[in-house]
Structure 1
């Protein structure tokens, strides 16, 4: 084999290895990032009602009209125990003893109430989600980011449900 042919094969092998390494690193970076969905996650943020309809009077009714939907798009049930839903200001809700069945959803309300399979409550006396600009981040019990939803940020399409800000 000639030296130039050997050099080309080595170069091609190094180039291919670099491409594979770069492709393997990309999903890991996306999973740790704060934008969009982690690869292969069936549990995601669905609709977001960040602006409670009506007056913001901090009544329990108004607080509970503010919610984030967590959806399981997979067929298998997922134990959400220890998963967290965090607002941009660091306000965090931790799921306790909730098994989310396949192809179902649960709404995480800001106010007080009785938890069920379809609705859980943060038992707060203040609004969690900013009406104008915020980010909701869903993490596993080990802290891996599964999904984020953003609204009011400078990019178009950041709105994920709810009412637009006034």
Structure 2
């Protein structure tokens, strides 16, 4: 039996791979911006003021995504601030805006339909809040939080 050169023995040893924590996958549909303090003063609950408040949602994939049955809500569950998407398709790589007030839905802008009630008609708190986007089965797809009363919006 011939001796095996030391270099060959070392090369034959396999080193187990260390587990590397997985990065959180980018959601296919994500909240990209919340404009929570509508421009102008005062916040009087007018439709134009309500529509100055909005959430921007983006499809990060190369395929269209149906948002039918998805929901958007804020952190305050008891306030009943839940928007349920109708028959809406978000095209690949495109963005849609969900405004708080009333208006005619288009392919790029949706309206929550809130009205009247002065400041009670607003969805997003002006100091801190969280937006939650869920699919029809209730699975959390994305969320975005802010905690800054000096700003008017947050990029998520």
Same fold? TM cut 0.5:
yes
Corresponding residue of 2:8: none
Structure 2 residue aligned with 1:146, among 127, 132, 141?
Answer: 141
CA positional deviation for 1:40: 4.8
| Higher Cα radius of gyration | 2
Q: Which runs of 4+ in 1 moved over 4 A?
A: none
Corresponding residue of 2:66: 79
Corresponding residue of 2:33: 47
- The structure that is helix-richer by fraction is 1
Corresponding residue of 2:3: none
Unaligned runs of 5+ in 1: 1-15, 28-37, 154-158, 162-166
Q: What does the per-residue CA deviation read over 1:7-65, in whole Å, with 9 as the maximum and x for residues that have no partner?
A: xxxxxxxxx9xx98xx7xx89xxxxxxxxxx6352100011101101121111000001
The root-mean-square deviation of aligned C-alpha atoms, in Å, is 2.2
Are 1:97 and 2:87 counterparts? yes
Return the TM-score normalized by structure 1: 0.69
Structure 2 residue aligned with 1:135, among 124, 127, 130?
Answer: 130
- For these two proteins, the number of residue pairs brought into alignment is 126
Corresponding residue of 1:116: 106
Q: Distance in 1 between matches of 2:144 and 2:107?
A: 22
Are 1:69 and 2:56 counterparts? yes
Q: Distance in 2 between matches of 1:145 and 1:39?
A: 13
Distance 1:130 1:98, change over 3 A: same
- The structure that is strand-richer by fraction is 2
Unaligned runs of 5+ in 2: 1-15, 116-120
